[in-house]
Structure 1
Amino acid sequence: MLKKESFIELSARQRAKALLDKGTYRELLGPFDDIESPWLEKQGIVPQADDGMVVAKGTIKGVPTVVVAIEGSFQGGSMGEVSGAKMSAALDLAALDCTEGRYIQAVLCLETGGVRLQEANLGLAAIADIHASIMNLRRYAPVIGIVAGTVGCFGGMSIAAGLCSYLIVTREARLGLNGPQVIEQEAGIREYDSKNKPFIWQMTGGEVRAECGFADKFVPDDAETVRKAVIECSEKGVPKEFRTEKYEYFLEKLEKFDTSKQVDENSAKELFVRGGSHD
């Protein structure tokens, strides 16, 4: 039996290499190109030479693919002007290739807390560009998102995850518009205790998100299994209907929810029952 390799424990660059066919990995705008954030050093923060964003081209089971992986260990995977531009530009170039007859799909490794607070509006604008770029490319080829752990996917980038053609999650993944600490800060500990780990995973963990239809594949933390899930999504091609086009379904469900009661895992599952999933 082959020894399993944790996908979660891999760096962004290692994740991209693990997904692409062996020998096909080619990085674009890597650390030796010295394209980094011009804003962090001014605020006493050591920048990273690739701004925490890895862009690589290659193939997955022979299919031309661009993998964009966020490094969650750098500034919590936060999105700034440079990192956001790298992701949106990669998606835009892939869309351009598709329109010119050169098919290429995209895989996004989303380990991010959302906008980089040190870059404020620049980060917000970058995330908006990413949203537009995903919607543009997904018309021509699948945009496959992966949320594995340990950072999770929050803020504006959780919207990016929702825009993906397909979304793959692990048990260790977390997905939500607002992070636990933000909810506790704004609504109080009675509403959301950010130190209650079981409660957090019951609400935003990968398993419950998949069961509610906000993710399409729920896989164990194994690099080869994650890659196989990507291949399965790739083979499905462009979905006939995107999750974001099912807004009437979700709005109807939300209107029925009693906000006077504390939501829990079971009530969330009963409410959605995999309505948004492609499976």
Structure 2
Amino acid sequence: MNTTDFRQRDSFIELSARQRAAALLDQGTAHELLGPFDRVKSPWLERQGITAQADDGVVVMKGSLGQQPAVVLAIEGAYQGGSMGEVGGAKIAAALELAAEDNRQGVPTCAVILFETGGVRLQEANLGLAAIADIHAGIADLRRYQPVIGVSAGNVGCYGGMSIAAGLCSYLVCTRDARLGLNGPQVIEQEAGIAEFDSRDKPFIWSLTGGEQRYQTGLVDAYVQDDLAQIHAAVLQCLRAGVPQQHRSDRFRDYLARLAEVDTSVQATAENVRHLYKKGSAS
């Protein structure tokens, strides 16, 4: 589904995580769980001289979506780069676990995850990694019953262990501003050298990991403009499509076969990557 008109629109990217979550749910149904006034924040950051945000940069909003029970999990990219620590990760994992339990009790609760994250919070290291692993398990459990829909709009992108979480989602929605990849540009440049990946070359970065490229390679299901109405419509369309017959992550053998064909001696281009992903059953 590709809806890319250029009419006047309301920016989704300019909204905070809390505003994004509330805007996606049916009007008047949003109720935040463990909000900032509950003061559930990281116990580790202040010890390192970092101000801990009262909600740890994660918003959990429950309500209905298309008149169906839903939970929206929104990561605030403006706080610590949307990084996942012990508390924020636990909030997402617990919400997914409760949504799965709802389904086992006959309540068809779906989930939407708004990814604006650089991955694990380095200041919390293993605690953050453990929380991300719990998120992965929560997605895999819930998606058996109801769609788990990921959205990456911008400006942070979706990287690290949370990009794996995005890959586990039933469906992904992206804008042109989004970026999706296991490692960020600076990490790749640091490990492989600037000749391999120049982190300052914005057009090059977006040509390989941007939302449009990910859509063209089949790693994203809906490519939309930075528009609240378009994103809302795409999420609803994904929800109404139901649980996929086969999740993208279950096609790992196809993707491994494609990767085995990569000639690492040649600089990758957007066109070559698209051609590679469109071969065989991974298309």
| TM-score scaled by length of structure 1 | 0.97
Q: Does 1:153 align with 2:158?
A: yes
Calculate the aligned-residue CA RMSD, in Å: 1.3
Tell me how far 1:112 sits from its aligned partner: 0.1
Paired residue for 2:178, among 173, 176, 183? 173
Tell me how far 1:196 sits from its aligned partner: 0.2
CA-to-aligned-CA distance 1:179-222 (integer Å, 9 cap, x gap): 00000011110010000000000010000001001110001000
Tell me how far 1:3 sits from its aligned partner: 4.8
Tell me how far 1:237 sits from its aligned partner: 0.6
Q: Does 1:77 align with 2:82?
A: yes
Query: For the structure 1 residues 91 and 220, does the alpha-carbon distance in structure 2 shift closer, same or farther, using more than 3 Å as the test?
Result: same
How far, CA to CA, are the matches of 1:206 and 1:237 in structure 2? 23
SS at match of 2:177: coil
What letter corresponds to residue 35 of structure 2 in structure 1?
G
SS at match of 1:73: coil
How far, CA to CA, are the matches of 1:240 and 1:211 in structure 2? 21
Q: Does 1:254 align with 2:259?
A: yes
Indicate the residue corresponding to 1:191 in structure 2: 196
Tell me how far 1:24 sits from its aligned partner: 0.5
Indicate the residue corresponding to 2:22 in structure 1: 17
How far, CA to CA, are the matches of 1:88 and 1:27 in structure 2? 16
Aligned 8 A contact 1:212 1:276 in 2: no
SS at match of 2:74: strand
How far, CA to CA, are the matches of 1:63 and 1:5 in structure 2? 24
SS at match of 1:181: helix
Indicate the residue corresponding to 1:57 in structure 2: 62
Paired residue for 2:208, among 203, 212, 221? 203
What letter corresponds to residue 220 of structure 1 in structure 2?
Q
Indicate the residue corresponding to 2:220 in structure 1: 215
Q: Does 1:43 align with 2:58?
A: no
How far, CA to CA, are the matches of 1:264 and 1:177 in structure 2? 18
Indicate the residue corresponding to 1:133 in structure 2: 138
Q: Which is further off, 226-235 or 265-274?
A: 265-274
CA-to-aligned-CA distance 1:148-207 (integer Å, 9 cap, x gap): 000000000000000000000000000000000000011110010000000000010000
SS at match of 1:68: strand
How far, CA to CA, are the matches of 2:185 and 2:262 in structure 1? 21
Structure 2 spans left out of the alignment, 5+ residues: 1-6
Structure 1 spans left out of the alignment, 5+ residues: none
SS at match of 2:124: helix
SS at match of 1:118: coil
Paired residue for 1:93, among 90, 93, 98? 98
What letter corresponds to residue 102 of structure 1 in structure 2?
V
| TM-score scaled by length of structure 2 | 0.96
How far, CA to CA, are the matches of 2:104 and 2:266 in structure 1? 49
How far, CA to CA, are the matches of 1:56 and 1:102 in structure 2? 17
Q: Which is further off, 206-215 or 251-260?
A: 251-260
The 4+ residue runs of structure 1 with deviation greater than 6 A are: none
Paired residue for 1:116, among 91, 105, 121? 121
